[in-house]
Amino acid sequence: MTDRCRLCENPLQHIFVDLGVSPLANSYLKADQLNQMEPFYPLRAYVCAQCYLVQVPVFQSSEEIFTDYAYFSSFSDSWLQHARDYTELMIDRFCFDTESQVIEIASNDGYLLQYFAERGIPVLGIEPAKNVAKTALEIGIQTVQKFFGFQTAVELAQEEYHADLLIGNNVLAHVPDLNDFVSGMKVILKPQGIITMEFPHLMRLIAENQFDTIYHEHFSYFSLMTVNQLFTQHGLTIFDVEELTTHGGSLRIYARHAECKSKDVSKHVETLLRREEEQGFEKLNLYLSFNQKVKSTKRSILDFLNQSKNADKILVGYGAPAKGNTLLNYCGIRTDYIEYTVDRSPHKQGHFLPGTHIPICHPDKIRETQPDYLVILPWNLKDEIMKQMAYIRDWGGEFVTLIPEVRIYS
């Protein structure tokens, strides 16, 4: 391996986890594509021995991956509630009002900015995917269809766009050039402005065995320690942090210009950095032990599936998330194990999962076929899905999650 770390340029030599080969996780197929050659790429995550950033190599550019995108945030009720709660928290804590400017990077279909707009607060979304940005514009959210980085920040600043609140939810992992991205945030942030970013926490990924959250579209995986280093070297200070339950365990960081002294650094930052240090996040051994844990989990999943099919059980999936595609391809799970999956998003229905070619159907199909097991692929939404699909218990159906281990819910 001769690639260099995208944060500190140190040569990458140490494997965090090897998940074999996999297609791009969001490259859903149409029926007429099933007999065409499908590109698979090595899915191998490395850890930098200097800054401890966990990362995968870039096989396709952001432009190729995200110009037309299948993920629309508004199809998750719990995620919409998360966005509402966040909006209220920001307004209450920092007193944003009609004179403030809120800018969101990777604003998707306007799922979050709509709640600021309802309060009369000026908003601007920055979203690279044309199809997703179009949806945001249709609901009245001003959206610029561009990738964010230093150059985009300069262009927007020249148009007098500067953020009192700059938001980046679940975008940092998707950024191939971290230094360009964060330097752009520095440019577009007002002198007294605030950045908030949410991203899955590497501590939870390791502790909960969440290897399926690793896929080609997720270039990097972060501890607070590593993000703190990234922001510091670009003149930004993380002054607070919250641990969230979203996406299996995420962090929400709060940052400001280093030269802005109006917000003291919270004790939460120091406490979490110390916890990461105590758990070994500054030592390679923690990272290098993960690969064997994942191999063991794969064997346990296949044991469960083989036993179920040998007992003539019918298994189907719920959801078509990117994380599910990593798990299915790594474990070699195709229609011989899971006959189909369902998804609420009409943008995915009628398509097939990449690599495994499992068909994606409307949720009504579950009532028609009455499976024995409903395998929840977006396990982070388990409670929401079990509530929606509670009727499977009418015929004795049970729910299954496979991460962090096989669990059955009657």
SS3 state of residue 20: strand
5-23 pLDDT, tens digit each: 999 999 999 999 999 999 9
SS3 state of residue 244: strand
Give the chain's mean pLDDT: 94
At 26, the amino acid letter reads N
Higher-confidence residue of 1 and 16: namely 16
Mean pLDDT of 166-180: 95
What per-residue confidence (pLDDT) applies to 65?
A: 56
Tokens of 194: 């605030």
**Architecture of the 302-409 domain:** 3-Layer(aba) Sandwich (3.40)
> Do residues 365 and 342 lie in contact, with contact meaning Cβ atoms separated by under 8 Å?
yes
SS3 state of residue 246: helix
Name, in order, each residue with C-beta under 8 angstroms of 205's C-beta and a sequence gap of 6 or more. 211, 213, 221, 248, 249
| List of E strands, 119-235 | 123-126, 143-144, 163-169, 189-200, 220-221
What per-residue confidence (pLDDT) applies to 62?
A: 57
Distances (CA, A) of 245 to 78, 212, 251, 338, 379: 11, 17, 9, 28, 12
What per-residue confidence (pLDDT) applies to 246?
A: 86
Mean pLDDT of 320-337: 96
What per-residue confidence (pLDDT) applies to 74?
A: 53
Question: From CA 341, how far away is CA 47, in angstroms rounded?
Answer: 33
| List of E strands, 12-65 | 14-22, 41-47, 54-55
Mean pLDDT of 24-38: 94
At 330, the amino acid letter reads Y
In the CATH scheme, what is the code of domain 65-287?
Answer: 3.40.50.150
Cis peptide before 404 (omega within 30 of 0): yes
Give 186's Cβ-side CA count (13 Å radius): 20
H helices of 189-321, in order, are: 202-207, 224-232, 267-278, 284-288, 290-310
- Is it the case that residue 24 has pLDDT exceeding 50? yes
174-210 pLDDT, tens digit each: 999 999 999 999 999 999 999 999 999 999 999 999 9
Determine whether 211 is exposed, middle or buried from the number of CB atoms within 10 Å of its CB (0-12, 13-18, 19+): buried
Residue 319 banded pLDDT, cuts 50, 70, 90: very high
What per-residue confidence (pLDDT) applies to 79?
A: 82
Same fold for the pair 65-287 and 302-409: yes
Question: From CA 133, how far away is CA 123, in angstroms rounded?
Answer: 14
Mean pLDDT of 152-165: 96
Lowest mean pLDDT among 52-66, 89-103, 204-218, 294-308: 52-66
62-79 pLDDT, tens digit each: 555 555 544 555 557 788
Residue 61 banded pLDDT, cuts 50, 70, 90: low
Give the global pTM: 0.91
Nearest to 400 by CA among 378, 371, 376, 384: 376
What per-residue confidence (pLDDT) applies to 261?
A: 87
Mean pLDDT of 156-185: 96
Which run of H or E residues covers position 342? Answer: strand 341-342
Which residues does residue 407 pair with via DSSP β-bridges, in sequence order?
401
- Is it the case that residue 122 has pLDDT exceeding 80? yes
Question: From CA 374, how far away is CA 392, in angstroms rounded?
Answer: 8
195-253 pLDDT, tens digit each: 999 999 999 999 999 999 999 989 999 999 999 999 999 999 999 999 999 888 999 99
What per-residue confidence (pLDDT) applies to 22?
A: 95
* Percent residues over pLDDT 70 in the chain: 96
Look-up: residue for tokens 């995208």? 6
Q: Give the number of other CB atoms < 10 A from CB of residue 101.
A: 19
Mean pLDDT of 265-279: 97
What per-residue confidence (pLDDT) applies to 1?
A: 43
Backbone angles phi, psi at 360, to 5 degrees: -105, 120
Question: From CA 199, how far away is CA 402, in angstroms rounded?
Answer: 22
Name, in order, each residue with C-beta under 8 angstroms of 118's C-beta and a sequence gap of 6 or more. none
Domain ranges in the chain are: 65-287, 302-409
What per-residue confidence (pLDDT) applies to 64?
A: 59
> Do residues 173 and 200 lie in contact, with contact meaning Cβ atoms separated by under 8 Å?
yes
